[in-house]
């Protein structure tokens, strides 16, 4: 959200002690997410409005924008919303240390590496199935790939 365009009225800023406030639409647009996404994050307890406008619109401050950046960056690193919630809770604890966060990052990396290994195995299995499907003109009921899916696991992998 570099260069976040606040686009706020001076009345809203004056009502909030000159703190820059964003409506849900402006924050969503600045962050490149939909307003529904922010509402979902709200329901999940990840973000909350700093207040409401006189007309009842949700208003978010710079802390909300920072928190939204945190959520989006953590998602890009593979963290689930539940894991992000845990990181945010950890971040708010006085007794928490960097090592606590590092442990969670190491665990996430291990999980991702396991998924990568699993996906590579799936690709190899598909490569074998594709290589075994040499006659593309056969009727679908004689498809080697579909037949392999019906065989016991050890047989399907052997092809």
pLDDT tens digit sequence for 71-122: 999 999 999 999 999 999 999 999 999 999 999 999 999 999 999 999 999 9
State the Cα–Cα distance between residues 58 and 52, nearest whole angstrom. 5
Q: What is the mean pLDDT of residues 34-62?
A: 93
Q: Residue 13: its pLDDT value, please?
A: 43
State the Cα–Cα distance between residues 46 and 32, nearest whole angstrom. 17
Q: What percent of the chain has pLDDT over 90?
A: 68
H-run or E-run covering 22: strand 22-23
State the Cα–Cα distance between residues 148 and 85, nearest whole angstrom. 42
Beta bridge partners of 52: 58
17-47 burial, b at 16+ Cβ within 10 Å, e below that, comes to: eebbbbbbebbbbbbebeeebbeebbeeebb
């Amino acid at each position: 959200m570099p260069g976040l365009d606040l686009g706020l009225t001076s009345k809203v800023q004056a009502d909030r002690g000159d703190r820059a406030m964003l409506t849900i639409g402006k924050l969503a647009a600045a962050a490149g997410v939909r307003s529904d996404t922010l509402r979902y994050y709200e329901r999940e307890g990840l973000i909350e409005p700093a207040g409401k406008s006189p007309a009842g619109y949700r208003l978010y401050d710079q802390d909300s924008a920072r928190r939204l950046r945190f959520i989006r960056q953590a998602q890009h690193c593979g963290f689930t919303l539940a894991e992000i919630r845990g990181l945010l809770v950890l971040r708010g604890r006085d007794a928490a240390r960097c090592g606590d966060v590092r442990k969670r990052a190491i665990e996430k990396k291990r999980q991702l590496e396991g998924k990568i290994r699993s996906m590579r195995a799936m690709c190899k299995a598909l490569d074998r199935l594709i290589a075994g499907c040499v006659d593309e003109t056969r009727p679908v009921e004689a498809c080697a790939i579909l037949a392999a899916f019906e065989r016991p696991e050890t047989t399907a992998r052997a092809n």
